[in-house]
């Protein structure tokens, strides 16, 4: 259980760091770039990926798609935390699990039971209620687009990672290393273009933030994988505890520490989000 707790802690800490980035005038794209450099170094040290196994038949299109999506969605994640707070952003990220579930039904023709259909319906209702807010200023009327992009982006990323996991010719950790490497290159290109265009300046504070961000981002992945190994006979335990833990911890920190304001409908949405995760988990248990 300690691995699940550590994974939840790392995941929520990433959101907290992104929330603090505005206060300390951190360049998110610079921090994201260093974050992936840190993650790939840690991936090399902990997982010892065998890059000699890479060949032209490896799933390079998926690697490249992930390399572009990861830094881009990270920017949307930061914008969502900045504009709508940790609570709504964490729920958007966690409920993105419905994207691969829908892909399993419509693309991979997986059989669904009644509980899973109910869970999906409750989940989408939760999304609507959680993101609902009264428009205070016209300039903020499009803020909902950030968590929606987080929802879609992380869902698509999950589907792509699942496709990599199905590629048995390469160890998953080697593919993960390649994705981190390419994601770092993509984010580095973006930073270089911005520096040349004088839209940003390289600062040590951004590098420091990126190192910390990368440490917790990788820690989330490392402890999540360790938790699945520890509970290999019951993966739904990890799935449920992780998703519920992040939603609850993120909500408490957002409300107590950052004084984020939520409406009654938002609170109902949070409760429904928790119910949706439980229903999806129960549906998976019944399918076994």
Q: Give 99-118 pLDDT, tens digit per residue.
A: 888 887 887 777 788 888 89
* 113-155 pLDDT tens trace: 888 889 889 988 998 898 876 555 444 557 889 999 999 999 9
Structural domains counted in the chain: 1
Span 265-275, average pLDDT: 93
Return d(Cα 68, Cα 45) in angstroms, integer.
24
pLDDT score at 115: 87
Q: If pLDDT is split at 50, 70 and 90, which confidence band does 219 have?
A: very high
pLDDT score at 120: 87
Q: If pLDDT is split at 50, 70 and 90, which confidence band does 239 have?
A: confident
pLDDT score at 286: 67
- pLDDT of 194 strictly over 60: yes
Give yes or no for a contact between 97 and 247, defined as CB atoms under 8 angstroms apart: no
Q: Which range marks the domain in which residue 74 is found?
A: 2-287
Span 241-268, average pLDDT: 92
Span 231-245, average pLDDT: 81
Return the structure tokens found at 246: 């992040």
Query: Bigger pLDDT: 168 or 64?
Result: 64
Task: Identify the residue whose tokens are 């409920």.
Answer: 95
Query: Bigger pLDDT: 286 or 83?
Result: 83
pLDDT score at 138: 47
Rg (Cα) of the chain, in Å, rounded?
19
The chain-wide mean pLDDT, for the chain, equals: 88
Span 36-40, average pLDDT: 95
Return d(Cα 174, Cα 43) in angstroms, integer.
9
């Amino acid at each position: 259980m300690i691995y699940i707790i550590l994974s939840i802690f790392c995941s929520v800490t990433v959101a907290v760091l992104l929330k603090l980035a505005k206060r300390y005038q951190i360049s998110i794209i610079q921090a994201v770039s260093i974050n992936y450099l840190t993650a790939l170094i840690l991936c090399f040290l902990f997982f010892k990926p065998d890059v000699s196994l890479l060949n032209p038949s490896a799933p390079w299109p998926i690697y490249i798609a992930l390399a572009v999506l990861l830094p881009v969605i990270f920017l949307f994640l930061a914008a969502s935390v900045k504009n709508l707070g940790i609570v709504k952003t964490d729920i958007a990220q966690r409920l993105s699990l419905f994207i691969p579930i829908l892909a399993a039904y419509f693309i991979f023709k997986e059989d669904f039971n009644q509980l899973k259909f109910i869970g999906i319906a409750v989940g989408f209702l939760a999304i609507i209620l959680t993101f609902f807010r009264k428009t205070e200023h016209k300039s903020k009327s499009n803020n909902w687009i950030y968590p929606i992009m987080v929802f879609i982006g992380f869902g698509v990323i999950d589907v792509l990672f699942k496709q990599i996991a199905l590629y048995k010719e390469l160890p998953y950790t080697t593919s993960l290393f390649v994705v981190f490497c390419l994601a770092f290159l993509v984010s580095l290109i973006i930073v270089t273009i911005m520096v040349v265009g004088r839209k940003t300046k390289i600062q040590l504070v951004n590098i420091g933030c990126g190192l910390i961000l990368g440490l917790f981002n990788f820690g989330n992945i490392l402890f999540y994988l360790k938790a699945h190994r520890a509970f290999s006979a019951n993966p739904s335990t990890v799935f449920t505890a992780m998703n519920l833990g992040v939603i609850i911890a993120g909500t408490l920190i957002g409300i107590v520490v950052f004084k984020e304001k939520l409406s009654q409908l938002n609170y109902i949405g949070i409760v429904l989000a928790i119910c949706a995760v439980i229903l999806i988990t129960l549906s998976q248990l019944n399918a076994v």
